[in-house]
Amino acid sequence: MISNKQTIFYILIAFTFSVAIRLIWVYQFSDYDAFMWNNQFMINTNDGYYWAEGARDILNWDFSEFARSPVNTAGSQLTAFFAYILPFSFETIILYMPVILSSLIVIPMILIAQSLKRVEFGFVAALLASIAWSYYNRTMIGYFDTDMLNIVFPTFLLWSLILAIKTHEEKYLLFTALEIVAYRWWYPQSYSLEFAFFGLILFYVLVFERKNLYMYKLLSIMLFAMMGLPGVVRFITVIGVYLLYKNKKIDSYIYYLFGFAFLLFMFTGGFSPIWAQLKGYVFKDTVKVMGEDLQLHFFSVMQTVREAGKIPFETFANRISGHTITFILSIIGYILLVFRRRVILLGLPMIGLGFLAYVGGLRFTIYAVPMMAFGISYLIFTCSDYLKKFLANEQSSFYIRTLFIVVCTLAVLYPNLIHIINYKVPTVMNKQEVTVLDKLKNIANREDYVVAWWDYGYPIRYYSNVDTLIDGGKHSGSVNFPVSYMLTNSQQSSAKLARLDVEYTEQRFLMEINNQDRNRTNIANMTLDNGFQDANDFLISLSTNIKLPKKTRDIYFYLPFRMLGIFPTVAKFSDIDLMSGKMKRRPFIYQTNRFKDSKEVLNLDRGILFNKKSGILQIGNQEVPVKEFLITAYDKNKKLIRQRQSIHKDGNLYLVYMRSYNTFLVLDEDMINSTYIQLFVFENYDKNLFEPVILDPSAKVYKLKI
């Protein structure tokens, strides 16, 4: 018989292990000041700044009407609560929350094993699951995102479902329903996994227990908890249904209650959220068509998000179990476990969602981690049990089997530990970049906008307390297009489009309040309002004296050095014919700091060579004349010095050496004249359009003057 003290002991050991491993990152960067702000490490995921912004605004009682701060989200609310009651700095809380909350995964895992009368195998499984490759990546210290509880909640749900089926005790009906409500509160996208659990239990009931009233009670209360209604309504409903179950007279009406629950579930949303998620991650489109009266084509952001891309099998296996061999053995172990304990089949929804990663993107692999950890752990203990048959001496049998379990456990943990030691993820921003944003906070007003690529949207809003046009949650092709266009086109066109996009964005907030039609994109509205039927004609008109809307707020351009690395991707979003959806000629930009300089040839890596004597750039088998060679560098007063040398008047490319950054650029005519390159690389700005506000080598900020 397994005692509760023994279970608690295993939980504490596994929890401590999970926390300790996550502190390796702190040890590795303990002396690296560039990752520190306000005497604490900064976080290392962009999305974390979204929840941090909401928590900050809750603590400051800032509930601005038009702000997109997530003050109503669970992540922000829980963070604000911890920040209010705990004696630590806000930066410390958001840094360490993933460490503590994600380590809670060990509790339901060990409890599940306890329900199967083998708590030891749950302990080993908990050790692996808590630090498995993908789970660690998305819950490490500083990875302040919903993933810190996204697997904890469904694993608790699995535990209560297992015990509900095994014991038929009424308390597990309530536990199950409340876990669903809490999971949806924390992560609204949990809908699909909840429904998968429901569907599996429904199948089990229809095949094996069609006359079991308890199972229909379970299904009914799950449906009430899964309805597409506000969390408070669902919470009150499930409490009421649970109390209703206490009256035995209701048993004769259970089938009717189940039917009513199913109809209510369908009426409040049904399968719609599930289909929306499948379309986003599995059935991905390269180009999306939007609008009715003016149909425009936009580049799909899902084509550039790494976590939504297909991954190789080895990566898939490693992220779930740490090693391909471990992964295969985990599947074998899980199958054996199913034969011995059929109830563990309830874990199939988590396995299915985790395996969806093979076609739907690497982010899903974390869902399969707990069940595969159970699989390899059960296999280890099964092999240990077989050893007992070959060992006559009971005492020696115990030591040998214990040694076998320890060695196998270490072997399974080893590749994951090596990965963790080598996984030295940097913070999202470095200290100098945050210094720039902190200065901007004291210059800009709360209602002002900052034009920047979506990767930097959340950090900008958090550190500068301003608004942005796009961010990690608002980055569809239709909203990315204008910002991409601003960064990759001439200063005149960029400045005018920036003013138009900001003012039209503000108008959309008013349209939403007044319940007006918001189906058109900003670009479509601009096109039609200016008397055009072709969006391409409207874009051309930006270089003329087009009438601009009245200025209601200031606009700043945030141009960081690090955006050079993703600038080709940024350019893709506006390198499209809006009317036909066809991709235009792709602008050319190449950046490298891996080069070798010799007397006659400058080797720029990746097969790109510059012949100094002839002025010809060899790109693979193609030879292209260079029009100009430009050099930028900062003097001792941090003033930018520019030099240029003409090489071929009919050249097609430009070679730029950013000496202070030890970086070379190769650009075509369009790219060198783009707003980002002109303002950041050369500080060459149109004085009628832009005004420099902060000129720091790490990031430069310009204020729009129109």
- Does a structural domain hold residue 689? no
Contact between 588 and 666 under an 8 Å Cβ cutoff? The reply is yes
Contact between 694 and 688 under an 8 Å Cβ cutoff? The reply is no
The DSSP letter of residue 476 is: -
Which residues, 6+ apart, have CB-to-CB distance to 691 below 8 Å?
685, 702, 703, 705
Same domain, 484 and 600: no
- pLDDT class of 272 with cuts at 50, 70, 90: low
**Helix 313-321 vs helix 324-340: crossing angle, to nearest 10:** 60
Q: What is the pLDDT of residue 288?
A: 53
Q: Which helix (H) or strand (E) holds 58?
A: helix 48-59
Out of 402-411, 576-585, 613-622, least confident range: 576-585
Same domain, 311 and 342: yes
3-state class of 696 per DSSP? coil
Out of 55-69, 116-130, 386-400, 631-645, least confident range: 386-400
Range picked from 54-63, 203-212, 301-310 for highest mean pLDDT: 54-63
Q: Give the DSSP per-residue string, 584-614.
A: -PPP-EEEES--EE-SSEEE-STTEEEETTT
Q: Tell me: pLDDT of 550 over 90.
A: yes
- Does a structural domain hold residue 365? yes
- Does a structural domain hold residue 574? no
Q: Tell me: pLDDT of 461 over 60.
A: yes
- Does a structural domain hold residue 107? yes
Contact between 135 and 151 under an 8 Å Cβ cutoff? The reply is yes
Q: Tell me: pLDDT of 616 over 50.
A: yes
3-state class of 89 per DSSP? coil
Same domain, 376 and 240: yes
How far apart CA 370 and CA 11 sit, in angstroms, is 15
Q: How many structural domains comprise the chain? A: 3
Higher pLDDT residue, 58 or 358? 58
**Segment 11-20 mean pLDDT:** 98
Q: Tell me: pLDDT of 402 over 60.
A: yes
Boundaries of domain holding 619: 594-661
The alpha carbon of residue 160 and the mean position of all alpha carbons in its chain are separated, in whole angstroms, by 28
Please write the tens of the pLDDT for every residue from 229-255. Answer: 999 999 999 999 999 998 888 888 899
How far apart CA 483 and CA 464 sit, in angstroms, is 19
Q: Tell me: pLDDT of 362 over 70.
A: yes
Same domain, 11 and 94: yes
How far apart CA 349 and CA 359 sit, in angstroms, is 16
Q: What is each CA distance from 154 to 177, 294, 368, 678, in whole angstroms?
A: 12, 43, 11, 50
Which residues, 6+ apart, have CB-to-CB distance to 578 below 8 Å?
296, 297, 298, 481, 523, 535, 536, 539
Same domain, 537 and 628: no
- Does a structural domain hold residue 348? yes
**Helix 171-186 vs helix 74-85: crossing angle, to nearest 10:** 100
- Does a structural domain hold residue 110? yes
Q: What is the pLDDT of residue 304?
A: 59
How far apart CA 64 and CA 72 sit, in angstroms, is 12
Last residue of a domain, one of 364, 390, 422: 422
How far apart CA 129 and CA 322 sit, in angstroms, is 10
Same domain, 197 and 62: yes
Contact between 465 and 284 under an 8 Å Cβ cutoff? The reply is no
Q: What is the pLDDT of residue 204?
A: 86
Contact between 66 and 512 under an 8 Å Cβ cutoff? The reply is no
Contact between 416 and 322 under an 8 Å Cβ cutoff? The reply is yes
- Does a structural domain hold residue 414? yes
- pLDDT class of 280 with cuts at 50, 70, 90: low
Pairing state of beta strands 663-668 and 467-468? unpaired
Q: What is the pLDDT of residue 242?
A: 94
How far apart CA 481 and CA 298 sit, in angstroms, is 7
Please write the tens of the pLDDT for every residue from 193-207. Answer: 999 999 999 998 888
Q: What is the pLDDT of residue 382?
A: 94
Which residues, 6+ apart, have CB-to-CB distance to 561 below 8 Å?
661, 680, 697, 698, 699
Same domain, 603 and 558: no
Per-residue tokens: 171 = 């308390």
Please write the tens of the pLDDT for every residue from 47-75. Answer: 999 999 999 999 999 877 657 899 999 99
Last residue of a domain, one of 422, 445, 473: 422
Tell me the one-letter amino acid at 432.
Answer: Q
How far apart CA 164 and CA 174 sit, in angstroms, is 10
Per-residue tokens: 656 = 């730029």
How far apart CA 83 and CA 93 sit, in angstroms, is 7
Find tokens 């809750």 and name the residue: 58
Q: What is the pLDDT of residue 66?
A: 59
The DSSP letter of residue 344 is: G
Tell me the one-letter amino acid at 108.
Answer: P
Query: Across 107-207, where does the E strand assignment appear?
Result: none
* pLDDT, the chain, mean: 91
Q: Tell me: pLDDT of 309 over 90.
A: no
Tell me the one-letter amino acid at 150.
Answer: N
Same domain, 345 and 438: no
Q: What is the pLDDT of residue 299?
A: 83
The alpha carbon of residue 74 and the mean position of all alpha carbons in its chain are separated, in whole angstroms, by 16
Question: Which CATH number is 441's domain given?
Answer: 3.40.1380.40
Contact between 683 and 699 under an 8 Å Cβ cutoff? The reply is no
Out of 284-288, 387-391, 654-658, least confident range: 284-288
- Does a structural domain hold residue 576? no
Pairing state of beta strands 467-468 and 653-658? unpaired
Same domain, 161 and 261: yes
Task: Mark out the alpha helices in 514-557 (DSSP H runs).
Answer: 522-529, 535-541
Same domain, 408 and 522: no
Same domain, 169 and 82: yes
Q: What percent of the chain has pLDDT over 90?
A: 76
Find tokens 């876990």 and name the residue: 179
N-terminal to C-terminal alpha carbon distance within the chain:
77
Q: What is the pLDDT of residue 515?
A: 47
Same domain, 369 and 457: no
3-state class of 240 per DSSP? helix
The alpha carbon of residue 93 and the mean position of all alpha carbons in its chain are separated, in whole angstroms, by 20
**Segment 152-159 mean pLDDT:** 97
Higher pLDDT residue, 60 or 309? 60
Last residue of a domain, one of 378, 404, 422: 422
Burial (CB < 10 A; 0-12, 13-18, 19+), residue 447, is middle
Burial (CB < 10 A; 0-12, 13-18, 19+), residue 3, is exposed
Burial (CB < 10 A; 0-12, 13-18, 19+), residue 340, is exposed
Burial (CB < 10 A; 0-12, 13-18, 19+), residue 585, is exposed
Q: Tell me: pLDDT of 355 over 60.
A: yes
Residues in the chain: 706
**Segment 66-94 mean pLDDT:** 93
List own/partner pairs for 631-639 with CB under 8 A and 24 or more apart: 631/656, 631/657, 631/659, 632/656, 632/657, 632/658, 632/659, 632/660, 632/681, 632/682, 633/658, 633/659, 633/660, 634/660, 634/697, 638/697
Q: Which of 186, 161, 170, 148 is nearest to 248 (CA)?
A: 170
**Segment 339-343 mean pLDDT:** 92
3-state helix, strand, coil in the chain (%, to 5): 60, 10, 30
- pLDDT class of 303 with cuts at 50, 70, 90: low
How far apart CA 571 and CA 574 sit, in angstroms, is 6
